[in-house]
Structure 1
Amino acid sequence: MDSSSSPRVVKQYQVFLSFRGEDTRRTIVSFLHKALVERGIDTFKDDKKLEIGGSISDEIKEAIQNSKIAVVVISENYASSTWCLNELQMIVDLHKKQQLTAVPIFYDVAPSDVGHQRGTFALERYKCSKIMLLFSSEKRKFAEKIQKWREALTEIAGISGTDPKTCEDEAAMIEDIVGRVSRQLFSMETVKFCDTVGMNSHMEELNSVMDTEGLIGIWGMGGIGKTTIAKCLYKEHSHRFAYHCFIENIKSSAEKGLIHLQEKLLSNILGKGHEKLWSVEQGCLYIKSRLGNRKVLLILDDVDNLDQLHVLAKETSWFGPGSRIIITTRDKGLLFSSGVRCVYCVDILGKNDAIQVFKQAAFEGGEAPSDDYEQLSIRASSLAQGLPSALKAFGTYLRRMTSIEDWEKALERLKKVPHQRVMEILRTSYMGLDGRHQAVFLHVACLFNGDSVRRVTSLLDDGELEIKALTEKFLIDISADGCIKMHVLIEQAGKEFVREESDYMPWRQKVLWEEEQIIYVLQNNTPRFSHQGTTTIQSLALHICEMPHVLYIKGTIFNTINLKFLKVFQHLNDIESKLQFLPGTDGLPQQLRLLHWDAYPLTTLPLTYYHNLNYLVEINLRYSNLERLWYGNPVRHYNALELF
């Protein structure tokens, strides 16, 4: 293709600087331009030394038309340049149409002189005689242009601007202008997240919290919308603060180092002109010295480590009076360790809001095209259990399906296999746990969801501390009646993590809960098989109601597996156990803590198990054939057991 036929890319600017070069190029305009650029504001400044001709160039016209704000520096000789007057006329016309915002700076001139065209702003110098006007259409057009300049000067004088006489010094004036421009640019941004379903209720609660000085926490599970809430809060309240900064995804940014986080904070607030940091300690001192007298709104998003918070805002005294530091995190313990006492907990969406969020993602216009799709939407949103990120992921995934049959198949798949986007979000929470917390998390997801806290903590090492850690990281909740509640998608993700860590080989899984896999493992008790990693299996939960046939096993299989938790359960009490020992091969794991075996087939516990109760915490043998636990006297560990 010939290059001449290619569309020309038009540069977009945030700010256009209009000024009289000979008056201000080397003074206020040079400093103002530098300050705007250092704040990260894309600014157009005409670097030509002289305005050539009376008409402004196409480049200047495009720069004005494609800018959001025009900062007009009106100096003593501004009106002596037809170039400047033409720029001003265009700026004012766009300002009236609300296509651009004009910000005047009256640099050593009185706004009233500008408005009434007195002194150097008098336009009589451009007038033509009445006789000449009769003979020249061009001069009549010029007279009309003068009238437009006059109107533009009157208009710009009526706009609230900056008068250097009211500022302490020029440096303070420039700082004030840049802050004002920054706030106006931010307010112009089209922010769709404030229209998010359910956001009004969040804002109602948080707006009152914003009256509290100091540290504020926003806490919730991954994917629940903490970042979106923080962005909306920032949008609504940043105009109240001369300095504001939103650092998104701190966990990811921290991978480049803690100094990188400090540099990011200082650059966002002070611009790029601050000195280079060479240590974290120096960065802390620099933040305190430069921001200690400034009223700041600082939002730190997705903090997952105390060090990240300490290098940016360890104490509220680092910032001026009236400052607010808002922290979003999945870890409630981190907030309390930092002295945050004002914590807003983000809950899942209610049923109606959840359906609405799903339909916005799934259908053009946000409405289901038929009753069938409406019912499918209800089913899909129930799978997400009120988690906004999952609702959007499911909606986007199903949007490409072209038939009801495709939707049905996709929903069945989502019941069994976690959506990739949801897995990515929840994996971040899981990987943030240490090894012991991960192990407990997986056991809760696969075995103990819905069980009483008292029971689960008794079965685990340091159970109270482990359960508390998962609660603080919003991976589980505790119901009013003292039971563990884990969100269905977190449970689903936890089971998928178990599969992933075993390379999808059942005999290598830490926990087994699927009937076919358990039968496979219990039936393949061979030396070859035992060398493949069955010792990694720590827990087994088998629902025997769903088994098609009775399974006979050798008790010696348990010597290979070394289970800690054995749960064989059924929902009916009138069926015979479908898990039986082969005659003469009864046996139980030696390190068992939980023995739950509904319809246990024997009349007593295996003799070999009699002397190995050092670890056992709970025996639950409902609907069993048990006549006695064991022969002989109770062992010394008996009173440590809970019998059901």
Structure 2
Amino acid sequence: MASSSSSFPSEIVEYDSLNENEHSSTRGRSSASSRLFDVFINHRGPDVKHSLALQLYNSIKKTGFRPFLDSQEIELGDSIPSTLKNAIFSASIHIAIFSQGYAKSAWCLAELVLILQSGVKVIPVFYDVAPSDLRYIGKDVYAEAFANYKEKGRYLSQLEAWKKALHSVSLISGYECNKNDNDHDKLCEIIVSAVLKEVERIIPLDVAKHSTTLAKEFFNRQRSEYDRSTFLFDVREAAAKGELPCLQTKLLKDLFIEDHHKFQSTDEGISYLRYRLGKALLLRFLIVVDDIDHIGQLDALLVTDRHTLNPDSLVIVTTRDERLLIQASITLRYRMKEMNDKHSRELFCCHAFQQPYPNRGFEDLVESFVKGCGGLPLSLQVLGRHVSGSSEQRYWQRELDKVRKTLPGDIKQRLQISYDSLDREEKEIFMDIACFFVGKLKSTAIRVWECSGWKADLAVQILKDK
């Protein structure tokens, strides 16, 4: 991603940087630069802001997706370059409206370069111009604007990149219209239909309500590389409730949008999914399977069956037991590490303040909570919700003192799941480690357990795998 100073008109960026510093103490709201958008509308305000651009914005918004139009989304105190860049790079699709005055706006041209850098699909709308006007800058509609830049010595280092961007977009199939057309409604309907089709194709995965920016960026970037995607939550819990057929139904619905077949049994789901997946070997899927605790769950979802998926599909499996990945012949394995301080702070604040940063005056208390959580997402979420809604620092301090002595029930309950999955011998060894052998040599502990007739080597390996 290019930096603001190299992508946007420098004198405006310098002014805006001062403006951003001036407003850096404004922390009570979520600025547009921290939000994600589905559609970005690139346009020149004086030409189409109050006509076609606004009409597209309102039509897309009615569908439930989130469009970005600068006049509607940028608020007083927002950093303009960072807000625009965030909106461009978070969008699933871009609309670029090329009007006769488009090239007079250095901002429009700078945005267009970033749009192409994002690698995301762009729909061009040629409004009172032809695609050839973008292709031959020297003699057509935009010639005067570029001549003025050269004559005044402005943006000289960026002119070539702007010309290349215009030329590239001129080769993309788009829509042509003019301001005297009486049927703007029909054009708007056609464009919105094309936008919805593309956004729905790569609709964001249903990740946690307050996932970190890193997680959002990863999933939103990954899903754009695949034809269809699905996120299957809490497979372990669903299996325990006998709801595996429901997960099979969700898998089918997400990957084959037109198919709403419902399964009454796991065997029925396996049979039908094998048939549908076998007919779709040309499609590349992104499938995330969250929290399995038995190999049969993967078998039921067919996600590790290499004969039913395109080799270019990506399947991500999370589990508390590494042995299950070995049983499923998953060779590329990653042991999760604790979250770093930045993302820990962000996750905690999203639950405590409904924003990724602390309210003024709570910075030290937040650091104490975050430090105590040790980078564990569950603790960060539970404790963040625990203090949410209180604006009294005394209350926060009192709760901090309490959780240092006793964990909240939500955390205990989740940790109990892992403990309950152990057999009696493994539980005894786990408790011995926690109470007596922290910091001691493993060989010493194993000799003690073996004297009791336990298969200590195997039990320790099982605990390590979990």
TM bucket, shorter chain: 0.5 to 0.7
> 3-state SS of the aligned residue for 2:299?
helix
Structure 1 Cα separation of the partners of residues 366 and 386 of structure 2: 12
| 1:422-441 map, 5 Å | 422-441=411-430
Q: CA deviation at 1:459?
A: 2.3
Which residues of structure 1 form unaligned runs of 5+?
A: 1-61, 70-93, 97-102, 105-114, 116-145, 163-176, 200-228, 474-644
CA gap of 1:359–1:150, structure 2 versus 1, over 3 A, is: closer
| 1:241-256 map, 5 Å | 241-254=226-239, 255-256=241-242
Pairing partner for 1:149 from 165, 182, 189: 182
Pairing partner for 1:464 from 437, 446, 457: 457
C-alpha deviations, 1:48-83, integer Å up to 9, x for none?
xxxxxxxxxxxxxx99873247xxxxxxxxxxxxxx
Structure 2 Cα separation of the partners of residues 251 and 307 of structure 1: 11
Seq. identity, %:
23
> 3-state SS of the aligned residue for 1:316?
coil
> 3-state SS of the aligned residue for 1:251?
helix
Is 2:222 the partner of 1:237? yes
Contact 1:247 1:301 (C-alpha < 8 Å) held by counterparts: yes
Structure 2 equivalent of residue 267 of structure 1: 253
Contact 1:179 1:242 (C-alpha < 8 Å) held by counterparts: no
Structure 2 equivalent of residue 66 of structure 1: 62
Structure 2 equivalent of residue 450 of structure 1: 439
> 3-state SS of the aligned residue for 1:343?
coil
Structure 2 equivalent of residue 326 of structure 1: 316
Contact 1:297 1:324 (C-alpha < 8 Å) held by counterparts: yes
Contact 1:193 1:232 (C-alpha < 8 Å) held by counterparts: no
Structure 2 equivalent of residue 628 of structure 1: none
Structure 2 Cα separation of the partners of residues 258 and 402 of structure 1: 43
Structure 2 Cα separation of the partners of residues 419 and 278 of structure 1: 38
Structure 1 Cα separation of the partners of residues 341 and 189 of structure 2: 52
| 1:479-498 map, 5 Å | none
Contact 2:202 2:229 (C-alpha < 8 Å) held by counterparts: no
| 1:347-496 map, 5 Å | 347-351=337-341, 353-355=343-345, 357-359=347-349, 361-362=351-352, 366-367=357-358, 369-370=360-361, 374-399=363-388, 405-460=394-449, 461-473=454-466
Q: CA deviation at 1:309?
A: 0.7
Task: Count residues with an aligned counterpart.
Answer: 297
Structure 2 equivalent of residue 486 of structure 1: none
C-alpha deviations, 1:441-461, integer Å up to 9, x for none?
233223323322212222221
Contact 1:183 1:238 (C-alpha < 8 Å) held by counterparts: no
| 1:548-627 map, 5 Å | none
Q: CA RMSD in A?
A: 4.3
Q: CA deviation at 1:308?
A: 0.3
Structure 1 equivalent of residue 290 of structure 2: 301
Structure 2 Cα separation of the partners of residues 291 and 425 of structure 1: 35
Structure 1 Cα separation of the partners of residues 269 and 323 of structure 2: 25
Matched letter for residue 310 of structure 2: G
Matched letter for residue 318 of structure 1: T
Structure 1 Cα separation of the partners of residues 182 and 299 of structure 2: 56
Q: CA deviation at 1:275?
A: 5.3
> 3-state SS of the aligned residue for 1:345?
coil
Q: CA deviation at 1:431?
A: 2.5
C-alpha deviations, 1:91-140, integer Å up to 9, x for none?
xxx998xxxxxx99xxxxxxxxxx9xxxxxxxxxxxxxxxxxxxxxxxxx
Q: Which has the higher contact order (CA 8 A, sep 6+)?
A: 2
Structure 1 Cα separation of the partners of residues 61 and 393 of structure 2: 48
Structure 1 Cα separation of the partners of residues 183 and 394 of structure 2: 69
Structure 1 equivalent of residue 273 of structure 2: 287
Contact 1:357 1:392 (C-alpha < 8 Å) held by counterparts: yes
Matched letter for residue 325 of structure 1: V
CA gap of 1:240–1:406, structure 2 versus 1, over 3 A, is: closer
Which residues of structure 2 form unaligned runs of 5+?
A: 1-57, 66-94, 98-121, 124-129, 131-178
CA gap of 1:256–1:272, structure 2 versus 1, over 3 A, is: farther
Q: CA deviation at 1:318?
A: 1.3
Q: CA deviation at 1:411?
A: 2.6
CA gap of 1:306–1:179, structure 2 versus 1, over 3 A, is: farther
Matched letter for residue 388 of structure 1: P
Computing the radius of gyration from Cα coordinates, the structure with the larger value is: 1
Structure 2 Cα separation of the partners of residues 336 and 288 of structure 1: 23
TM-score (norm 2): 0.53
Structure 2 equivalent of residue 100 of structure 1: none
Pairing partner for 1:183 from 201, 204, 208: 201
CA gap of 1:193–1:316, structure 2 versus 1, over 3 A, is: farther
Contact 1:245 1:298 (C-alpha < 8 Å) held by counterparts: yes
Q: CA deviation at 1:384?
A: 1.4
Contact 1:249 1:302 (C-alpha < 8 Å) held by counterparts: yes
Matched letter for residue 377 of structure 2: P
> 3-state SS of the aligned residue for 1:450?
coil
Structure 2 equivalent of residue 59 of structure 1: none
Q: CA deviation at 1:193?
A: 4.8
Structure 1 Cα separation of the partners of residues 311 and 243 of structure 2: 29
Structure 2 Cα separation of the partners of residues 392 and 276 of structure 1: 34
C-alpha deviations, 1:485-540, integer Å up to 9, x for none?
xxxxxxxxxxxxxxxxxxxxxxxxxxxxxxxxxxxxxxxxxxxxxxxxxxxxxxxx
Contact 2:212 2:347 (C-alpha < 8 Å) held by counterparts: no
Contact 2:353 2:389 (C-alpha < 8 Å) held by counterparts: no
Contact 2:226 2:285 (C-alpha < 8 Å) held by counterparts: yes
Structure 1 Cα separation of the partners of residues 367 and 228 of structure 2: 44
Matched letter for residue 387 of structure 1: L
Q: CA deviation at 1:191?
A: 8.7
Structure 1 Cα separation of the partners of residues 251 and 312 of structure 2: 18
